[in-house]
Amino acid sequence: MTRKAPRRTAERILATSLELFNRFGEPNTSTSMISAELRISPGNLYYHYPSKDELINTLFGQYEHAATELLAAAEDVRDVEDAWFFLHSLFELIWQYRFFYRDLNHLLSRNRRLETHFPALLMRKKSALRALLDHLPTGAPAAPPSAETERRQDALAASMVVVLTYWLSYEYVLQPRSAMEPENAQDALLRGAYHVMSLLLPHLGDAARAHLTGLLQAYQAPPLP
């Protein structure tokens, strides 16, 4: 049997940094903590990543690439079940890199790359969700959309982005000691997807609304305290 080659030091540093940033928050995680966790010297870490910002930017590059690929799948959404799994996948990716959302204001205030790239990523999310909305059955007769309909769809897509962006922060405020722990991931993701999908209910046709109501009942997570 072929043995797997050990991961390179640079990859191990990234994986451990992500784990510690997610667990303790980026401001509370030093490069010394990362090197101690890996049992390597600080000099070895700095050889691969000369600063903590280099670590953050590399992790953000990974997240941005994965998010851009996932958002392209919005064009394939055709019903509420597709929409549910698409949004749940978005939450899963956000959870994987959750420190960006937990520490967002802090990171934006001190990291130039995030300051310029994160807003653009949110706009791509909004465009993807707008495409998703355009493909869902509303029950209304097919007709050219009016300016008012366009504004409402844009507002709905923006509201969905807001919930996607700040849901984990909401969970963290209510449960700061446990919200970001791995064992709470599934419930947190289900609650987030539930609330984003609930925004769609008033905008769907009768059959799609009934289908979505059934999905929400089936996948509803335990409520927050």
Stretch 42-54: mean pLDDT: 94
Please indicate, yes or no, whether residues 9 and 104 belong to a single structural domain of this protein.
no
**Beta-carbon contacts of residue 27 (< 8 Å; ≥ 6 apart):** 103, 106
Statement: residue 56 has pLDDT above 60:
yes
Cα–Cα distance, 45 to 52 (Å, whole number): 10
Please indicate, yes or no, whether residues 5 and 101 belong to a single structural domain of this protein.
no
Stretch 61-87: mean pLDDT: 93
Please indicate, yes or no, whether residues 149 and 64 belong to a single structural domain of this protein.
yes
pLDDT tens-digit readout, 125-134: 999 999 998 8
Statement: residue 18 has pLDDT above 90:
yes
Please indicate, yes or no, whether residues 123 and 200 belong to a single structural domain of this protein.
yes
Stretch 193-198: mean pLDDT: 89
Statement: residue 150 has pLDDT above 90:
no
Cα–Cα distance, 121 to 93 (Å, whole number): 13
Cα–Cα distance, 217 to 200 (Å, whole number): 15
Stretch 166-184: mean pLDDT: 90
Count the domains in the chain. Answer: 2
Model confidence band, residue 145 (pLDDT cutoffs 50, 70, 90) = low
At 36, which CATH number?
1.10.10.60
Residue 129 counted as domain residue: yes
- pLDDT value of position 4: 42
CA angle in degrees (0–180, nearest 5) for 37-39-43: 105
Stretch 23-29: mean pLDDT: 94
Average pLDDT, the chain: 89
Stretch 148-168: mean pLDDT: 92
Residue 179 counted as domain residue: yes
In the chain, the percentage of residues whose pLDDT exceeds 70 is: 93
Model confidence band, residue 179 (pLDDT cutoffs 50, 70, 90) = confident
**Beta-carbon contacts of residue 17 (< 8 Å; ≥ 6 apart):** 29, 34, 55, 59
Query: Which residues constitute the domain of residue 105?
Result: 57-219
| pTM of the predicted protein model | 0.88
At 208, which CATH number?
1.10.357.10
- Selected residue with higher pLDDT from 142 and 73: 73
Please indicate, yes or no, whether residues 40 and 62 belong to a single structural domain of this protein.
no
- pLDDT value of position 1: 44
Please indicate, yes or no, whether residues 72 and 180 belong to a single structural domain of this protein.
yes
Please indicate, yes or no, whether residues 73 and 151 belong to a single structural domain of this protein.
yes
Residue 225 counted as domain residue: no
Please indicate, yes or no, whether residues 102 and 186 belong to a single structural domain of this protein.
yes
- pLDDT value of position 71: 96
Please indicate, yes or no, whether residues 97 and 203 belong to a single structural domain of this protein.
yes
